[in-house]
Structure 1
């Protein structure tokens, strides 16, 4: 089962409504996302990425996950 770019972006936008979000990938299982959000200010990269993975609500969980790989870039706005 695959996930579409629009679906992944909608999930991220629901969790980070004011963020700058860019999602790419065309096979539905290997994708990339950039999330720039004020909520990341003062958090280290691991904390930022954990927040994004939490927003995915199991979409990447093991062999049953819809998304196999996500190249993730997170940061606070400059």
Structure 2
């Protein structure tokens, strides 16, 4: 642990910032991948049902990807 404190985190390393950025990146990519699938599998002219399906698919795709990436990189989640 570093003796210097940062503005963003309380520790000297940027582990919390990297974890947040990694989480946003993985779920952002999962949402972009799931977006066309939501509109293909739930064609609805209002767009409400495909959005919910897309959010669910993004969670189903993103959570295992995030946990696998955290395990592969050796960081604690």
TM-score by length of 1: 0.32
- More helix by percentage: 2
Structure with the largest fraction of strand: 1
Max Rg structure: 2
- TM-score, structure 2 length as denominator? 0.33
